[in-house]
Amino acid sequence: MDRPGRTFIEKVEVAGDQLARTIKKLYSDADARRVIIRNAEGRELLSVPLTIGLAGGALAVVTAPVLAAAAAIGGTLAKVHLDIERETPDGD
């Protein structure tokens, strides 16, 4: 029987200029499902699903606008907070 894993939120603070790079790394992270970008006051600026299920060139086409938006947000803020939704296999 295939049972879903547990979902949890990892909270991370990153420098604004590191935001696009951090999201790009999260796209390749198998257990990351979604990331919410928040400003210093905790207001949600952007929510990005990371489980696209595409490969190669198609992934680049889909992620380019997201990374551009993240770079724009990061360029205007000194620090941002990320809520990274992750899923662990059952029993871990």
Domain boundaries, the chain: 6-88
Average pLDDT in the 29-47 region?
90
pLDDT score recorded for residue 37: 93
Sequence-distant (≥ 6) Cβ neighbours of residue 77 within 8 angstroms: 16, 39, 40
Q: Which of 15-24, 54-63, 66-75 has the lowest mean pLDDT?
A: 54-63
Distance CA 89, CA 92 (A): 6
Question: Average pLDDT in the 76-85 region?
Answer: 91
Residue 14 has a pLDDT of 93
pTM attached to this predicted model: 0.75
Q: Which residues contact 4 (CB under 8 A, 6 or more apart)?
A: 87, 90
pLDDT of residue 1: 44
What DSSP state is assigned to residue 78?
A: S
Q: Please state at what angle helix 19-27 crosses helix 56-76, rounded to 10 degrees.
A: 150
pLDDT band at 71 (very low <50, low <70, confident <90, very high): confident
Q: Assess whether pLDDT exceeds 80 at residue 85.
A: yes
Beta partners for residue 48, in sequence order: 35
